[in-house]
């Protein structure tokens, strides 16, 4: 089978004057693409590197592969993650992962949370602010209770989430909202901060999705009430956090975490694979966000780390994603 990989590389992202330091944070390194290609080739497939943008379009139009392995994040706009799947669907080319609607919906944190809440699933209360003049004042802005977290509404990979994103006063809130509005070109999401432990849940499958594993993310020195999984922490994860798989929590709580992750996966229409991020608030799991294009580096990234500690090799994880896509498309599974 011919499998083409769609991706964005960090070193190919156009330079943007005045862009924030994390503007290319979502994109992949050549080493990740090499690792994916090696796994697919080891399973007997012919691998092609499709890239993104015009080269991707030209290659798909000239000689489309049997399957596109999609990890492309796109370059601009709140629907950028939907661009590769939309082209694949237009041309009738099967691909891995979620469809254009889900990829656009999950990148828009406000809309994703609205869908989750409409299904009766727990998620922190929030506000969406498009202009600084819309920001409510007072000690309970818009009815929300401090502490709050401020983040870009249309970004992933902790872009725009810094140590200062957790705010405890109206002045700090205004400063952080201005930082997001001025630096990231979209609305700011203000959300009640969940003071409890943080978990990420790997989910794989379609008609009957299943949990790959649950990982608790714990800061080595800060209590959970002060810990924010920010850009600074993620860039220094080996020193700042510990990953606990399985998490040292009561079986009943672990079951709640898994149930919420599966409920959110289904509610947002995720396919093949996703990683769902949750935190405890008042001891109850709450949905934070879902990543339907989780990082697949063999050496870092929450999903590969989680899966590895559950006994999955990087090869097994990658081929399981392909197998799910092939089953969903009605094709023969991998050997």
Beta-strand ranges (E) seen in 107-226 are 126-129, 148-152, 166-167, 188-192, 198-205, 210-219
Please identify, in words, the CATH class of the domain defined by 2-97: alpha beta
- Rounded distance, CA 61 to CA 91, Å? 8
Among all chains, which residue has been given the structure tokens 């012919």? 46
pLDDT in tens, 22-68: 777 888 999 999 999 999 999 999 999 999 999 999 999 999 999 99
Burial group, residue 53, by CB count within 10 angstroms (0-12, 13-18, 19+): middle
CATH of domain 125-192: 3.30.1490.20
Summarised one tens digit per residue, pLDDT across range 57-105 is 999 999 999 999 999 999 888 999 999 999 999 999 999 999 999 999 9
Alpha-carbon distance of 233 to 130, in angstroms, equals 27
Domain boundaries for CATH 3.30.1490.20 within the chain: 125-192
Query: Per-residue DSSP letters for 197-225?
Result: -EEEEEEEESSS-EEEEEEEEEESSS-TT
Q: Which of 128, 169, 124 is nearest to 151 (CA)?
A: 128
Q: Which CATH architecture has domain 198-328?
A: 2-Layer Sandwich (3.30)
Domain span(s) for CATH 3.40.50.20 in the chain: 2-97
Contacts of residue 134, Cβ cutoff 8 Å, sequence gap at least 6: none
Alpha-carbon distance of 60 to 284, in angstroms, equals 46
Task: Enter the pTM of the model.
Answer: 0.95
Query: Where do you find CATH 3.30.470.20 in the chain?
Result: 198-328
Contact call for residues 148 and 167 (beta carbons, < 8 A): yes
């Amino acid at each position: 089978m011919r499998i083409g990989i769609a991706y964005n590389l960090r070193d190919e992202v156009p330079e943007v004057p005045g862009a924030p330091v994390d503007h290319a944070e979502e994109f992949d390194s050549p080493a990740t693409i090499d690792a994916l290609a090696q796994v697919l080739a080891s399973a007997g497939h012919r691998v092609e590197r499709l890239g993104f943008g015009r080269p991707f379009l030209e290659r798909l139009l000239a000689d489309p592969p049997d399957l596109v392995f999609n990890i492309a994040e796109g370059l601009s706009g709140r629907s950028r993650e939907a661009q590769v799947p939309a082209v694949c669907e237009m041309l009738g080319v099967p691909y891995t992962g979620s469809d254009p609607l889900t990829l656009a919906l999950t990148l828009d944190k406000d809309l994703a949370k609205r869908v989750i809440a409409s299904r009766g699933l727990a998620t922190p209360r929030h506000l969406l602010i498009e202009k600084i003049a819309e920001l409510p004042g007072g000690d309970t802005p818009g009815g929300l209770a401090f502490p709050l977290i401020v983040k870009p509404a249309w970004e992933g990979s902790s872009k725009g989430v810094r140590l200062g994103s957790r705010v405890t006063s109206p002045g700090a809130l205004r400063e952080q909202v201005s930082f997001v509005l001025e630096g990231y070109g979209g609305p700011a999401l203000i959300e009640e901060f969940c003071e409890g432990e943080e978990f990420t849940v790997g989910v794989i499958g379609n008609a009957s999705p299943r949990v790959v594993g649950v990982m608790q993310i714990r800061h080595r020195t800060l209590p959970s009430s002060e810990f924010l999984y920010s850009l600074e922490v993620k860039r220094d994860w080996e020193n700042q956090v510990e990953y606990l798989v399985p998490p040292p929590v009561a079986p009943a709580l672990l079951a709640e975490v898994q149930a919420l992750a599966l409920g959110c996966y289904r509610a947002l229409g995720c396919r093949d694979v996703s990683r769902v991020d949750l935190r405890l608030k008042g001891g109850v799991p709450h949905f934070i966000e879902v990543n339907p294009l989780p990082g697949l580096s063999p050496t870092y990234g929450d999903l590969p780390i989680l899966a590895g500690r559950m006994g999955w090799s990087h090869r097994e994880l990658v081929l399981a994603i392909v197998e799910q896509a092939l089953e969903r498309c009605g094709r023969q599974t991998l050997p």
